């Protein structure tokens, strides 16, 4: 057998193997669960303990942007106290926003989705994205030493909280659809956010101390 025959035989074996692998994955059923809320933008902020950070339970962005956190003094102008890092479009959980000063117990904070203008830097000129009027309460939280803050709600629990806040939800079933994961070799890996999501650390703060609505 000459070298050309060996080369052709090896090439055929490689191609057959590649086709078998491709057929293995393409023949599997890939089902992607829908987002938890129908609205293009959403934010859920819950009561929590005082500290140097605010944790946003859930945020959905229609386009890349930020979650901005404001103090909400009664009868005064709200103050921007921190923003997240630039977030990609999509759903996010436990977005940690670092303050440039601590928020004390008894204070009220609000959160808003801010769309980036394309430069990747948070600025006062970036547009604040509005949420449904009946979902305003979802973006307000009280800082309290007694707050019982759960950072790992299930999809079902989170969906119910979002619905109670005024968002249109598509509640996930208990046996949510799954997708194969070639990386870990498992047969099923949920396409929804994990029940215990890692926090998105944010250290970006505003260059100005205040902003108007």
Give the CATH number, domain containing residue 88: 2.60.40
The predicted pLDDT at position 22 comes to 52
Q: Which domain holds residue 18?
A: 1-30
The predicted pLDDT at position 136 comes to 65
In a shared domain, residues 77 and 19:
no
pTM of the model: 0.64
In a shared domain, residues 102 and 62:
yes
The predicted pLDDT at position 101 comes to 83
In a shared domain, residues 129 and 170:
yes
* 3-state secondary structure at position 72: coil
The predicted pLDDT at position 30 comes to 40
The whole-angstrom separation of Cα 111 and Cα 68 is: 6
In a shared domain, residues 74 and 3:
no
- Is the dihedral angle over the CA atoms 212, 107, 133, 93 positive or is it negative? positive
Per-residue pLDDT tens listing for the chain (213 residues): 566 666 676 676 666 666 665 555 444 434 456 889 999 999 999 999 998 999 999 999 999 999 999 987 666 678 899 999 999 999 999 999 999 888 889 999 999 999 999 999 999 889 988 666 556 677 899 999 999 888 899 999 999 999 998 899 875 554 443 333 333 443 433 333 444 444 544 444 444 444 444
Pairing outcome for strands 90-103 and 178-181: unpaired
In a shared domain, residues 179 and 83:
yes
The whole-angstrom separation of Cα 42 and Cα 161 is: 12
The whole-angstrom separation of Cα 37 and Cα 58 is: 10
The predicted pLDDT at position 184 comes to 41
Cα 154 versus chain centre, distance: 14
In a shared domain, residues 185 and 111:
yes
Based on the structure, what is the number of domains in the chain?
2
| Cα separation of the two ends of the chain | 80
């Amino acid at each position: 057998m000459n070298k050309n025959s060996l080369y052709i035989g090896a090439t055929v074996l490689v191609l057959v193997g590649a086709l078998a692998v491709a057929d293995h994955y393409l023949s599997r059923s890939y089902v992607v669960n829908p987002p938890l809320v129908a609205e293009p933008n959403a934010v859920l902020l819950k009561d929590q303990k005082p500290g140097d950070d605010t944790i946003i339970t859930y945020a959905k962005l229609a386009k890349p942007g930020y979650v901005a956190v404001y103090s909400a003094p009664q009868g005064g102008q709200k103050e921007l106290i921190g923003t997240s890092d630039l977030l990609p479009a999509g759903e996010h959980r436990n977005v940690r926003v670092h303050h440039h000063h601590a928020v004390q117990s008894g204070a009220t904070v609000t959160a808003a989705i801010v769309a980036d203008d394309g430069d990747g830097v948070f600025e006062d000129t970036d547009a604040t994205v509005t949420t449904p009027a009946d979902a305003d309460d979802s973006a307000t939280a009280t800082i309290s030493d007694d707050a019982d803050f759960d950072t790992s709600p299930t999809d079902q629990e989170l969906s119910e909280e979002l619905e109670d806040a005024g968002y249109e939800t598509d509640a996930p079933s208990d046996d949510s659809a799954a997708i194969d994961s070639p990386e870990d070799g498992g047969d099923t890996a949920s396409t929804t956010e994990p029940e215990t999501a890692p926090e998105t650390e944010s250290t970006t703060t505003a260059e100005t101390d205040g902003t108007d609505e």
